[in-house]
Structure 1
């Protein structure tokens, strides 16, 4: 698997790190990304950029840090992590509203 750093499983889904995505992480630890993907409460949304379709998964780390993780669907129960970042202020407002509604 060229370009894949490592694989882990959460909730029956296999996640693979794209090597470049892992190298581009800034001020976010890889374990924080896995915490968001493993969180009980997370918000997946379909997204597209430059003709590429992917999912953004918004959630919180164990310490409560709100992050957005981008994953590409590989088929079956496999997804590839292609990026992660902090939520923008507007995203955080929408996410908090979703959390309140989902309670």
Structure 2
């Protein structure tokens, strides 16, 4: 899938390398979650980087196979526990 960065997202990344976000998006095991941000539908992808770092990457569908990356953040302890429970089941 082609991903495009929103320039503001790159500027706002806090301790996350853009490559890590792409690794999470391309991970073999991903937990997609539909949501809404600022009234628009988004998709959050919960996954691990190659080094095992759990991240959430938020995307907005731009049409076809194109997605805009609008955010990337570390999972909170509660989110990580939920993700690890999902990993254990699948």
**TM range, normalised to the smaller chain?**
over 0.9
Q: State the structure with more CA Rg.
A: 1
For residues 9-45 of structure 1, the C-alpha deviation after alignment (integer angstroms, 9 at most, x for no partner) is xxxx110001110110010001100100110101110
Corresponding residue of 2:42: 54
- Structure with the bigger RCO (C-alpha within 8 Å, sep 6+) is 2
Local SS of the residue matching 1:90: helix
For residues 32-81 of structure 1, the C-alpha deviation after alignment (integer angstroms, 9 at most, x for no partner) is 00100110101110011231210000000010000000000011111000
User: Could you say what the CA RMSD is over the residues aligned between the two structures, in angstroms?
Assistant: 0.7
TM-score when scaled to structure 1?
0.85
Listed as ranges, the gaps of 5+ residues in structure 1 are: 1-12
1:37 and 1:49 map into 2 onto residues whose CA distance is: 19
1:22 and 1:94 map into 2 onto residues whose CA distance is: 27
Local SS of the residue matching 1:31: helix
Local SS of the residue matching 1:54: strand
